[in-house]
Amino acid sequence: MGVPIELVGAWRRSGLIWKGVRQVDYCDVVWLQTPEWFVDIRLIMEPSTVPADAKVPAFFYKNRCFAGHASFAAPQITWNHEIDSTDTPRTRPDSNPLVWDNGVVLECGSATVDGEEHPFIEEWLRMTADDTPWSASGDEHFARIEIGKWRVEVSDDRPAGKFTATRYDLTETGWSKIGTVIT
């Protein structure tokens, strides 16, 4: 089934609105989307800057990574977390409508916190052109997704081993390791 070409590319979260209020974003979040595979990696920019009383749920600003297959039935995108650093079964699908607004993709969803449903909007900016080369491979324990200058490799060896996801960016001198999620 997959996703339309308009969604294939490298995306960076540029904004986060929780319960109608724009929030400080403590993570560098990159979403790589191919026609079938996706990966979302969230790396805390500076751990010492995250306040103990952050006004958004931890799943928005903790080191985290998930990957798998995506499908799209306009306007709804669904990400199937086949590999997830949380290692906790989801209680509902990761499925939200997408809205295009002046070149920004708005993911408009809701999340349950302490038994109450709250709205959120994640704003996504595309970092690649429509024709940027991509590659993807994976199975239930491994994924490697590369789009243009961004690459994420995910390996899940649990329960005997670790979960590891690493983001790389292509620079003038080659691939540079940007950060890793390990659980």
Query: Which among 100, 32, 83, 88 is positioned nearest to 59, based on CA atoms?
Result: 88
Domains defined for the chain, CATH in brackets: 1-183 (2.40.128)
pLDDT confidence tier of residue 60, bands split at 50, 70 and 90: confident
CA 54, 90, 162: angle at the middle one, nearest 5? Answer: 80
Q: How many CB atoms lie within 10 A of CB 12?
A: 14
For residue range 106-126, list pLDDT tens digits in order.
Answer: 999 999 988 999 999 999 999
Query: Which among 152, 150, 174 is positioned nearest to 164, based on CA atoms?
Result: 152
> What's residue 1's pLDDT?
63
pLDDT confidence tier of residue 148, bands split at 50, 70 and 90: very high
For residue range 35-47, list pLDDT tens digits in order.
Answer: 999 999 999 988 7
